[in-house]
Amino acid sequence: MPPFSTQSSVRSRCSLLKGCIPWPAEFAATYRAKGYWRGETLGAHLRRWAAERPSAVAVIAGEEQLTYEDFNGHADTLAMHLGQLRLRNRDRILVQLTNSPRFFILIFACFRIGVIPILTLPAHRESEMAHFASLSRASAYVVPANDRFDYVSLARGVRQRVPSIRHLIVDGDDERELFSLPRLMKPSSSKAIEDQSTASDVALFLLSGGTTGYPKLIPRTHNDYSYNFRRSSEIAGFDESTRYLAVLPVSHNFPLGSPGALGVFERGGTVVLSNDPSSQGAFKLIERQRITHTSVVPTIALRWIESAETRRTDLSSLRVLQVGGARLAEEVARKVRPVLGCRLQQVFGMAEGLLNYTQLDDDEETIVSSQGLPICPDDELRFVNEEGEEVPSGSPGELLVRGPYTIRGYYQAPEHNARAFTPDGFYRSGDVVRRLPTGHLVVEGRAKDMINRGGEKISAVDVENHLLAHPRIRDAAVVAIPDREFGERVCVFIITRDGAPLGLPEIGAFLSTRQVAKFMYPERVELVDAFPLTNVGKVDKKSLRQIAAKISLDREQTE
Ligand code: AMP
Ligand code: DBH
């Protein structure tokens, strides 16, 4: 295939949203010919599901139940009302909901009229939300009604900063705001509107964990995202009897589409929603709702295992526990089957695309010690060293990937794209990975400058930028510190202007005035006079990481 040029592709773009990079035509043709891309919009998927199993229950949340037929009907009504708010094909809207049936009704209403939801997390705060809003020139912002956190105030703050936001919509009632999501779903006499999206266009934006600065927006098309969850649902063995528990935020790619809730809908099963990943809450639901599948990050898996070891609960309905988002320690992986009584499926995925799963019938050794096989025969994987050269087969190298559901570029990010993608369109995952003779991948670590706190990806640069605004901080370097519970936590090395220490409480108080998500707060601070430097004079993060690792080791030994 001819070399891929970002510039010419952008110019020759015909049907993709401005600011997104399409697959070159010859790749698109191959992906269609091989049946990965089927030309069915996500909105049309829901019509098909409702026609196939109208009275089956699609979603359960507490006392609420939604059949596929209701789901489809509500999505139509909401689509029509969103249209009346003058939300149009290709308009972007910020969606920041907790796990609620209305999250799904909303995104499918959007898919129908071509409005593109930006799936942000409940933990994001004003700094991040204002960034997403201004980058995308979002027209609306949807938040939960107030419970433990005042999302309405957050949204109002963002709207003040970003004038493109015309509407705030609340999932509930709030006297301060005009639009209530439940009321917009109530049937009215207005005329139904036709589906307005096309399968090759962008359906939704996911967020990257981010390597530099704020999380990037990841455009996923109807075609590619459908393949993502359809193929995943086969590999995870979903069918009509699947009862899937979503405890992670469903705006994340893992519980949404890997195979997640959308994979359940594709197979006609039932999604049970919860906002409580604690073992107590989850075990109760697994027992009561006869849950068959669920997905968690390693931190949660560890807590569940510890709790199941000491407490009797009936988890007999559980067939598969999927664990992904961060490296699962082998010792923990080994306990899943004996302690929880279900199969483990490791998932190594990324919102940018590539997904890998251990197969349900892999032998136990492979399941506990690898992160699985890519899902598609046309996932092209390369493993390279720091110079970008191919490493010998089986050796660890940075994983580069290209394929039918892996993006060719982030939204509106030409400079970052020039670094994050090779000229011929491979995404540089930043993960150091090796491939076993069986084809299974083993994730060794990360080349990128990020902290993975139990699955939450935190950009070191992002935290540094906030800290550098502190009047007493001269310089800050953020690295991961290994941690038994979370895998990694945020550790900051600081140089203060007066040379005197600065504690975590002061740092936390400062970050809270900047409206930064709490999971980004440093949990270890080290005062230094100067940073170690590389021979070109950059801060040597590698040695800072080693120092942090040593601190963590010393702490463990003294505990
Ligand atoms: P993101 O690009 O923000 O969606 O985050 C994806 C990243 O999470 C991957 O590139 C890996 O660094 C990490 N990750 C996801 N799943 C796993 C896993 N099973 N084992 C190790 N790292 C993982
Ligand atoms: O960490 C991730 O982003 C992730 C993990 C598992 C993911 O995007 C996925 C599965 O789809």
Question: pLDDT tens-digit profile of 240-265?
Answer: 999 999 999 999 999 999 999 999 99
249 part of a folded domain: no
Q: What is the pLDDT of residue 534?
A: 60
Q: What is the pLDDT of residue 71?
A: 98
520 part of a folded domain: yes
Contact indicator for 42, 111 with CB cutoff of 8 Å: yes
Measured CA distances, 374 to 36, 477, 484 (Å)? 14, 35, 29
Ligand 1, CB cutoff 6 Å, lining residues:
208-209, 324-327, 346-352, 371, 429, 431, 443, 446, 457
Cβ-in-10-Å burial (0-12, 13-18, 19+) of 415 comes to: exposed
Which of the listed residues 328, 348, 358, 519 should we mutate to test ligand 1's pocket, taking the one with most ligand atoms within 8 A of CB?
348
CA of 372, closest atom in ligand 1: 19
> Is 189 found in the same domain as 71?
yes
Distance from C-alpha of 387 to C-alpha of 268, rounded to nearest angstrom: 47
Express each pLDDT in 427-480 by its tens digit: 999 998 999 999 999 998 777 678 999 988 888 878 988 998 999 998 899 999
Q: What is the pLDDT of residue 261?
A: 99
> Is 528 found in the same domain as 414?
no
Domain boundary among 446, 478, 502: 446
Which of the listed residues 457, 458, 519 should we mutate to test ligand 1's pocket, taking the one with most ligand atoms within 8 A of CB?
457
Domain boundary among 446, 469, 486: 446
Q: What is the CATH number of the domain that holds 286?
A: 3.40.50.12780
> Is 331 found in the same domain as 283?
yes
Count: domains in the chain: 3
The DSSP-derived string for 420-444 is HB-TTS-EEEEEEEEE-TTS-EEEE
Of 356, 350, 403, 348, the residue nearest 375 (C-alpha): 356
Domain that holds residue 197: 7-57+66-231
Ligand 2 centroid from CA 46, angstroms: 23
Distance from C-alpha of 433 to C-alpha of 452, rounded to nearest angstrom: 16
419 part of a folded domain: yes
171 part of a folded domain: yes
> Is 173 found in the same domain as 99?
yes
> Is 496 found in the same domain as 382?
no
Cβ contacts of 133 within 8 Å, gap of 6 or more: 94, 141, 158, 161, 162, 164, 165
> Is 420 found in the same domain as 342?
yes
Q: What is the pLDDT of residue 384?
A: 95
CA of 210, closest atom in ligand 1: 3
144 part of a folded domain: yes
Q: What is the CATH number of the domain that holds 535?
A: 3.30.300.30
Q: What is the pLDDT of residue 5?
A: 39
Q: What is the CATH number of the domain that holds 11?
A: 3.40.50.980
> Is 380 found in the same domain as 434?
yes
Q: What is the pLDDT of residue 212?
A: 55
Q: What is the pLDDT of residue 460?
A: 85
Low-confidence residues of the chain, pLDDT below 50?
1-13, 211, 536
Express each pLDDT in 365-412 by its tens digit: 999 999 999 999 999 999 998 789 999 999 999 999 999 999 999 999
> Is 118 found in the same domain as 90?
yes
> Is 149 found in the same domain as 93?
yes
> Is 297 found in the same domain as 192?
no
